[in-house]
Amino acid sequence: MNIAIIGGGAAGFFAAIHVKTNFPEAEVTIFEKTSKVLAKVKISGGGRCNVTNAAETIEELLQAYPRGKRVLKSAFYHFNNRDMIKWLHKRNVETIVQDDKCVFPKSQQSQSIIDCFLAETKQLDIHIRLNHVVLALEQSNNDKIKLSFKEGSEVFNKVIVTTGGSPKRKGLLWLEKLGHTIEEPVPSLFTFNMPNEKVTSLMGVVVQNVQVKIQGTKFTASGPLLITHWGMSGPAILILSAFGARELFHRNYLFPIQVNWIYMFDFNNVKTELIAIQKTHPKKQMQKLKPFGLPNRLWLYLLEKLQISPEKKWIEIGNKTINKIVNILTNDTYDVNGKTTFKEEFVTCGGISLKSINAKNLQSKAIKNLYFAGEVLDVDGITGGFNFQAAWSTGFVAAKLLD
Ligand SMILES: Cc1cc2nc3c(=O)[nH]c(=O)nc-3n(C[C@H](O)[C@H](O)[C@H](O)COP(=O)(O)OP(=O)(O)OC[C@H]3O[C@@H](n4cnc5c(N)ncnc54)[C@H](O)[C@@H]3O)c2cc1C
């Protein structure tokens, strides 16, 4: 049996290693279009490779994926984040877990992961053919698959496509022609530009736990928020960009967001706390006593936005003003106009539709003996090691080559 893996990235290597482990007699070849394998692994996580996430349960892990939950639920049952950490440990790649649950190699070098994969492929005698672009694929006799290269064509018993995310639909045309549905590729994981909002004057301010919502939709996210000189960033914004990726694309990145700066939702509770401050510190100036541990600069900015003099004493504000403060703390609005790519990690929302594959074995419904794994599928996660985990898990499952 000879098996081809198209694409020498994270999913391709992991699939190849497991195909050869599952079928030791098979000839396994990775075809990589560039002169380098595992290029994204190399640059990932700022050169440190956030290899997975230490989420404690499969349910928790699944929360991190705006698209692909159903396929991943089944894949994580076979191979999940804990399995990946064990897999690396068994091969002497120790990992460390950060406070935010991101997992990195202990060496803090993505090269450790690359060296491990290269040693494994060498030991298993997996062939790697660089500078080989697969141009086309077709079903040939006896359900085999013919791959076409610039140099000619070759026939394989089984093929796994691991060509990664394609930012343009054009890059997926060769797979669409075979009868696979394509979910339009659009960017995910980006930050929000707010060219007309004065809040950008607070650049550098971090608010630890906010909730952000795309107005008029069900999309919300929470976590730390960073104000930048062009708008807003930080985990809460990146998560919102991932979950709202398709909706925001359709809105041409022009939309209002609602920010709850204090992650409290009951109007009366917030009001009670403000009245308590007023009672305890009636003579304090508003600017000198910021409620809910808000960053100083943000509190002054919100007072200015409400046209409340910062010198005013707490006792001098009435019921109407207190209501206004509650509103701005829990439901402040900003206009987003445009986006900026998050440089640390960007992924594509969209790809081969999950309707075109069997969720259990990742086999194509259109072409026999063809499988998919990794970001080429309409599967993507938020930042935190989740995208690599999707590549490892889907690569592992596709490598079973189950009919
Ligand atoms: C800057 C950056 C940093 C990131 N950091 C992290 C991180 O720390 N943690 C995390 O979880 N995720 C991270 N990601 C996301 C992660 O890198 C991807 O989700 C992951 O690499 C997807 O793996 P893949 O194997 O599906 O695709 P890829 O890694 O993109 O590999 C696909 C391979 O296929 C090859 N190929 C494509 N078409 C063909 C063809 N026709 N013939 C032959 N070869 C072909 C490509 O050249 C490529 O080598 C980062 C992404 C970027 C861009």
- Can you give the pLDDT of all 403 residues of the chain as single tens digits? 999 999 999 999 999 999 999 999 999 999 999 999 999 999 999 999 999 999 999 999 999 999 999 999 999 999 999 999 999 999 999 999 999 999 999 999 999 999 999 999 999 999 999 999 999 999 999 999 999 999 999 999 999 999 999 999 999 999 999 999 999 999 999 999 999 999 999 999 999 999 999 999 999 999 999 999 999 999 999 999 999 999 999 999 999 999 999 999 999 999 999 999 999 999 999 999 999 999 999 999 999 999 999 999 999 999 999 999 999 999 999 999 999 988 777 789 999 999 999 999 999 999 999 999 999 999 999 999 999 999 999 999 999 999 9
Distances in Å between the Cα of 281 and the Cα atoms of 288, 289, 300, 311 are 10, 8, 18, 14
Q: What is the DSSP letter of 363?
A: B
Give the whole-angstrom CA distance, residue 189 versus residue 272.
Answer: 37
- CB of 8 closer than 6 A to ligand 1? yes
Q: Tell me how far the alpha carbon of residue 39 lies from the centroid of ligand 1, in angstroms.
A: 7
Give the whole-angstrom CA distance, residue 163 versus residue 177.
Answer: 16
Pair 302, 326: CB distance under 8 Å: no
Q: Tell me how far the alpha carbon of residue 376 lies from the centroid of ligand 1, in angstroms.
A: 9
Residue linked to tokens 């928790």 = 60
Q: Which domains does the chain have, with CATH numbers?
A: 2-186+348-398 (3.50.50.60), 190-341 (no CATH)
Residue linked to tokens 């939709």 = 217
CA dihedral (236, 238, 243, 246) positive or negative: positive
CA dihedral (12, 18, 19, 21) positive or negative: positive
Give the whole-angstrom CA distance, residue 237 versus residue 262.
Answer: 15
Give the whole-angstrom CA distance, residue 15 versus residue 309.
Answer: 63
For residue 175, the surrounding DSSP H or E stretch is helix 173-176
**Angle between the N-to-C axes of helices 296-305 and 319-330, in degrees from 0 to 180, rounded to the nearest 10:** 120
Closest CA to 368 of 159, 226, 219: 159
What is the chain's alpha carbon radius of gyration, rounded to the nearest angstrom? Answer: 25
Token pair of 174, please? 């060769």
CA 185 to chain CA centroid, Å, is 14
Pair 22, 178: CB distance under 8 Å: no
CA 26 to chain CA centroid, Å, is 34
Largest CA distance in the chain: 87
Specify the ligand 1 atom closest to the Cα of 53: 11
Specify the ligand 1 atom closest to the Cα of 174: 41
* β 347-352/182-188 pair status: antiparallel
Token pair of 189, please? 């994981």
* β 206-214/220-227 pair status: antiparallel
pTM: 0.94
- CB of 134 closer than 6 A to ligand 1? yes
28 phi and psi angles, rounded to 5 deg: -115, 130
Q: How many CA atoms, within 13 angstroms, populate the side-chain half-sphere of residue 272? A: 6
Residue linked to tokens 């000198």 = 288
Ligand 1 binding pocket mutation candidate from 43, 111, 163, 341 (most atoms within 8 A of CB): 163
Token pair of 350, please? 């969209």
Ligand 1 binding pocket mutation candidate from 44, 148, 371 (most atoms within 8 A of CB): 44
Residue linked to tokens 């929302």 = 349
- CB of 347 closer than 6 A to ligand 1? yes
Q: What is the DSSP string of 211-245?
A: EEEETTSS-EEEEEEEE-SSEEESHHHHHHHHHTH
Give the whole-angstrom CA distance, residue 85 versus residue 96.
Answer: 9
